Amino acid sequence: MFKHWKHGLVGVVAATTFTLPLVSTAADLSDNKVKIGVLSDMSGVYKSLEGPGAVIAAKMAVEDFGGSVLDKPIEVISADHQNKPDIAASTAREWIDSKEVDMITGLDNSSVGLAVQGLAKEKKTITMNTGAGSTALTEEQCSPYGIHYVYDTHALPVGTATAMVNNGGKKWFFITADYAFGHSLRDNTGAIVESMGGKVVGNVNAPLSTNDFSSYLLQAQSSGADVIGLANAGQDTVNAIKQANQFRIVQSGQKLAGMLVFITDVHSMGLDIAQGLQFTTAFVWNQNDEAKAWSERFNERQGAMPSMVQAGVYSAVSNYLKAIKAAGTDDTEAVRAKLGEMTLDDMFVKGGKIAPNGSMIHDMYLVEVKKPADSQSEWDLLKVISKIPADKAYISMADTKCSLVN
């Protein structure tokens, strides 16, 4: 579909200009409304990082947009995918076929995200995945209608693993969530470690939502690794770090690398346990005045500051609506083309671009958890160590395996 990003964008623009009159007229919306579906983990291990907060963020985006687009109403619906791909795909199919959903966001589980993106590709429906991490979403299983918005398992280790190897963490042992996301995060992190002269000395797979990490931590502790990489997320990460603290792993000289950590995780653990932990994120709630003002509004509704994926839902929904307005239609092809043309600037992202493989290319941040004495308030938990430029964080279009590009 695209042989070169710039050439590809020109082709999309030209195609859009030619075909729009055939499929729509100005201010043309199918079903006389726009319906957005938030499909997330509302009750399980990822509830706090996206879940109900993602619905709040989507509704805030709709309200801030004015509640309508092209003079027609915007509706947000939601459901719990329960971290089960079959339930997620069934829900998405019903939404698209029977409930007239135009775009699906959330999808905070890589197996779920891949299943729904595959279905949506068949149905020619846009997905804006804000919660899953696997690079397969924009690589081997890329879709012309699939957008990977907040982070991926290539961007995360670029900051964290690079910093830790540079600081002497040469030998790594992984505790890996045993599904698509965990495997992708482990493999991408391991590749960066080895490219810098480090070595992966071991790995153990842990079931999703396990409560007991003791046997996995003991294997990691006895491995001789400098760094124990946690290729998991949400409550799994929290449980692993808390139990590592009980085993005094860090106090004994090994380092913990949380490869996907959210501010809600840090808040749950507390600074006494989490202090000094470094990780990579797409968003820090108080990184600038615009982000801080939005986050404080979110906190009033959610009772917590937003995770990067909750902030990403707001941004994704906002920019999807902007694309509809600019295209003058909710036609999938026209809106996806418009999204590919846009430069994204809001409280979440500055200078973001959606690449032909569906990856939203933007800066990431290496952060460190503050010491208790350095925190000024309940949610003042992180300090930014460095910015990771977009072109360093994400897979380049020259290197992508996406069939739409090469």
pLDDT at 28: 81
**Which helix (H) or strand (E) element contains residue 196?**
none
8-state DSSP, 3 = S
Rounded Cα distance, 210 and 404, in Å: 38
Question: Which positions ≥6 away from 174 have C-beta within 8 Å?
Answer: 186, 189, 190, 200, 202, 203, 204, 228, 229, 230, 231
Is beta strand 171-177 parallel, antiparallel or unpaired with respect to 364-369?
Answer: unpaired
Q: What is the pLDDT of residue 7?
A: 38
Per-residue pLDDT of the chain (406 residues; tens, 9 = 90+): 443 453 343 333 333 333 333 344 445 888 899 999 999 999 999 999 999 999 999 999 999 999 999 999 999 999 999 999 999 999 999 999 999 999 999 999 999 999 999 999 999 999 999 999 999 999 999 999 999 999 999 999 999 999 999 999 999 999 999 999 999 999 999 999 999 999 999 999 999 999 999 999 999 999 999 999 999 999 999 999 999 999 999 889 999 999 999 999 999 999 999 998 989 999 999 999 999 999 999 999 999 999 999 999 999 999 999 999 999 999 999 999 999 999 999 999 999 999 999 999 999 999 999 999 999 999 999 999 999 999 999 999 999 999 999 7
Sheet with 199-206: strands ordered across: 199-206, 171-177, 227-231, 255-258
Taken in order of first residue, the domains within the chain and their CATH numbers are 5-151+287-361 (3.40.50.2300), 155-259 (3.40.50.2300)
Q: What is the pLDDT of residue 30?
A: 85
**Res 5: pLDDT:** 52
Would you state the structure tokens that stand for residue 258, as one six-digit string?
């949380």
C-alpha closest to that of 384 among 367, 363, 369: 367
Rounded to whole angstroms, how far apart are CA atoms 171 and 156? Answer: 18
From residue 342, alpha-carbon distances to 7, 326, 336 in Å are 15, 10, 10
What is the model's pTM? 0.89
CA distance 69 to 36: 13
